[in-house]
């Protein structure tokens, strides 16, 4: 059997670049992550007390949002919001840290609902929200359909996280006009992630998507959502001119797409422990990726038959998965995805180089990009 590429090697090749200050990034963003977590903890404890005023049992719903939030995550979206704020000349570090929780709570909401839609039982090695509520149903000996209780409660836990995202903005100590402009981009972000997720759902009920369709979903569901919108919200909170937004788009969209490509490659070629889900889950689930779209495009008739049998088939064997991986590699889709992600990263870097940012703006954006691309889970 042909030797398959080693994804850790891939990572190293892709990421070691003397412009990217890996150590500094990790230090800076791990400090920022701690700050975000600290604020999030205070906020959620306050909400638990508010729930207790309604009823002791109502606290369970907020408890679950808290458990989910602290089960993992690198706070990538707050980091971009923060970087956008600094790059646009903002100085109020404490205020923007608090405001940055809005994109993290939005992400919490999106993940909880996504997990229901994808029928995932675990995320980052821990139970998803609907599974956690099934466990509560069991331990509290509630009556009735356990699975439906898990589903119902998780829908509401997601809704609650959505509400928290808004409350954070309402109580952010920024001039109202800046908040109004930030909200415009936040509203866009929400609209696009929800419609993007819907396209993703539609995609999973279709046999195949073209590369163009996949890239369109990525643009809305990942690139705008993870990078561009958080940067823009940060810039608006700093009172920036609209001109800076174009450069954020030129940087954010390719970076976000590169990130998703990397995630898709790791989802198939990465190791289970690092990516936090079983090897081959993406293939068995039939996840629509550029990698799979290109593989179909370039596969022979015989290979296509094999793909049809294995992709999206939960009963596929490990041997089947290995053969699909070999095809992805041999038809050139793997190399194509690597090259495309390199090109997108170069594009993002060029966009930063071209523009003049205030103070340490440029460095923050480079560092945030590196942080994103080092992200595993």
Q: Name the residues that contact a second copy, by CB under 8 A.
A: 47, 50-51, 54-55, 57-58, 60-62, 109, 113, 116-117, 119, 137, 142-144, 148-149, 151-153, 155-156, 159-160, 162-163, 166-167, 170, 176-177, 179-180, 183-184, 187, 190-192, 194-199, 201-202, 204-207, 216, 220
Beta carbon nearer to a second copy, 196 or 256:
196
Which residue, 155 or 281, is less far from a second copy as judged by CB? 155
Q: Please report how close the Cβ of residue 55 comes to a second copy at its closest, in angstroms.
A: 6
Do 71 and 107 contact (CB within 8 A), yes or no? Answer: no
User: What is the closest distance, in whole angstroms, from the C-beta atom of residue 333 to a second copy in the complex?
Assistant: 23
Alpha-carbon span 328 to 207, nearest angstrom = 17
**Min CB(279)–a second copy separation in Å:** 23
Pick between residue 198 and residue 298 the one whose CB is nearest to a second copy: 198
- In the complex, the smallest distance separating the C-beta of residue 347 from a second copy, rounded to whole angstroms, is 22
Phi, psi for residue 68 in degrees, rounded to 5: -65, -45
Closer Cβ to a second copy, 115 or 363, answer by number: 115
Find the shortest distance in angstroms from Cβ 179 to a second copy.
Answer: 7
Return the number of the residue (14 or 156) whose C-beta is nearest a second copy: 156
What 122-127 contacts at long range (C-beta under 8 Å, 24+ apart), as own/partner pairs, is 122/276, 122/277, 123/71, 123/72, 123/276, 124/71, 124/72, 124/73, 124/276, 124/377, 125/276, 126/71, 126/72
Burial of 265 (0-12, 13-18, 19+ CB in 10 A): buried
Cα 112 to Cα 124: distance, rounded to the nearest angstrom: 13
The CA-based diameter of the chain, rounded to the nearest angstrom, is: 64
| SS3 sequence of 271-324 | CHHHHCCCCCHHHHHCCCCHHHHHHHHHCCHHHHHHHHHHCCCCCCCHHHHHHH
Q: Which is nearer to a second copy, 148 or 274 (CB)?
A: 148
Least Å distance, CB 286 to a second copy, is: 9
Helix or strand (DSSP H, E) at 122? strand 122-123
Task: CB nearer to a second copy: give 219 or 320.
Answer: 219
CA of 259: how far to CAs of 50, 73, 75, 99, in Å?
A: 38, 15, 15, 24
CB of 156 to a second copy, least distance (A): 5
DSSP state of 145: -
Of 19 and 140, the one with the shorter C-beta distance to a second copy is 140
What's the min distance (Å) between Cβ of 176 and a second copy?
3
């Amino acid at each position: 059997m042909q030797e398959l590429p080693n994804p850790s090697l891939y990572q190293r090749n892709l990421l070691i670049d003397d412009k990217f200050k890996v150590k500094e990034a990790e230090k800076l963003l791990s400090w920022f992550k701690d700050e975000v977590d600290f604020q999030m903890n205070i906020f959620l404890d306050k909400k638990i007390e508010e729930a207790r005023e309604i009823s002791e049992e109502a606290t369970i719903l907020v408890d679950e949002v808290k458990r989910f939030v602290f089960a993992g995550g690198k706070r990538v979206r707050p980091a971009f919001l923060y970087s956008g704020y600094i790059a646009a000349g903002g100085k109020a570090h404490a205020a923007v840290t608090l405001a940055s929780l809005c994109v993290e709570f939005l992400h919490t909401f999106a993940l909880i609902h996504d997990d229901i839609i994808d029928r995932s039982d675990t995320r980052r090695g821990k139970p998803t929200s609907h599974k956690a509520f099934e466990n509560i149903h069991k331990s509290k000996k509630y009556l009735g359909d356990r699975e439906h209780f898990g589903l119902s409660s998780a829908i509401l836990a997601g809704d609650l996280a959505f509400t928290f995202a808004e409350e954070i903005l309402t109580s952010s100590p920024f001039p109202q006009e800046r908040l109004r402009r930030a909200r415009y981009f936040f509203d866009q972000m929400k609209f696009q992630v929800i419609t993007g997720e819907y396209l993703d759902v539609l995609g999973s009920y279709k046999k195949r998507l073209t590369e163009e369709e996949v890239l369109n979903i990525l643009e809305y569901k990942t690139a705008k959502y993870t990078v561009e919108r958080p940067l823009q919200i940060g810039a608006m909170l700093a009172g920036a001119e609209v001109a800076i937004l174009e450069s954020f788009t030129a940087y954010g969209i390719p970076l976000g797409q590169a990130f998703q490509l990397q995630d898709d490659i790791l989802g198939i070629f990465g190791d289970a422990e690092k990516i936090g889900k079983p090897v081959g889950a993406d293939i068995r689930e039939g996840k629509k990726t550029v990698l799979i779209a290109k593989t179909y495009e370039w596969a022979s008739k015989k290979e296509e038959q094999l793909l049809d049998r294995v992709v999206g088939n939960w009963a596929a064997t490990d041997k089947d998965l290995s053969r699909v991986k070999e095809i992805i590699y041999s038809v050139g889709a793997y190399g194509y995805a690597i090259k495309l992600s390199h090109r997108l990263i170069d594009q993002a870097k060029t966009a930063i180089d071209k523009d003049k940012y205030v103070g340490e703006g440029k460095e923050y954006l480079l560092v945030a990009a590196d942080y994103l691309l080092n992200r595993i889970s």
